[in-house]
Amino acid sequence: MTTGAPVEPDAPDARELLLDELSDPAYAESQPTWFDLVAQSVIDWFSSLRLAEGEGPPALALVIGGIVLAAAIAAALIVYGLPRWRNRSRLAGELLGERDRRTARQLRRDAERAAAAGDWSRAIAERYRAIARALDERTIVSALPGMTAHGFARAAARQFPELGGRLEAAADRFDGVRYLDRPGTDDDYALVRALDETIDALPSPLPAVAELSGAR
């Protein structure tokens, strides 16, 4: 069996294909942020500083450049805010596979209401979401789009290794009531609620090891 020569698109078609490709969100995500551009511009300017002999000690250029760099970064942060926080705000609409903008406090309240009504399945799901949202709000674990309950449990366990087993058990309860049509029970809810309360009482890990993983 033979194959024909590849068909080359004409100019209009090629342009349309290129525009379609460049419209892919992946390209937008890969573009440098305003913070990257400002920081790089200041760094480039600082690197280009050269004092002619006799104009003063090199340390003077370092001091001046450092002051200018710090002032530029501070001004940019005041005007625009940290890119990380802006991105987190943009991503906050999705939680464990669903659009959900509720805070951890709101999720806990809704979980308690469901539990009071005897709707254990909903109570379990809401309380586990509260755990995920709370750790995201505390910048300990980022609840990234597409993250599953067990993916979140693994990411959280890297920050709280002593809770690994309880996190996996809670993720099992969430998946059971959410996807496997298993009936929730008051004991299952008590397990998830106790885990939430335990994590909420723990101090945050050091920033150097804060989890930003999108593990699934």
- Give pLDDT tens digits for 165-189: 999 999 999 999 999 999 999 999 9
- What was the pLDDT predicted at 138? 93
Q: Along the 216 residues of the chain, how does pLDDT read in single tens digits?
A: 444 444 555 666 666 656 665 555 545 555 566 666 666 766 666 666 554 444 555 556 666 767 777 776 776 665 555 544 444 544 457 898 888 889 999 999 999 999 999 999 999 999 999 999 999 999 999 888 889 999 999 999 999 999 999 999 999 999 999 999 999 999 999 999 999 999 999 998 865 444 444 444
Residue by residue, DSSP assigns the chain as ---PPPPPP-HHHHHHHHHHHHTSHHHHHHSPPHHHHHHHHHHHHHHH--PPTTS--HHHHHHHHHHHHHHHHHHHHHHH--HHHHHHHHHTTEETTEE----HHHHHHHHHHHHHTT-HHHHHHHHHHHHHHHHHHTTSB---TT--HHHHHHHHHHH-GGGHHHHHHHHHHHHHHHTS-PPP-HHHHHHHHHHHHHHHHSPPPPGGG-B-----
Question: What pLDDT, on the 0 to 100 scale, is given for residue 70?
Answer: 74
The per-residue pLDDT for range 152-169, each reduced to its tens digit, is 999 999 999 999 999 999
pLDDT of residue 87: 46
For the whole model, what pTM was predicted?
0.57
Q: Rounded to whole angstroms, how far apart are CA atoms 160 and 200?
A: 12
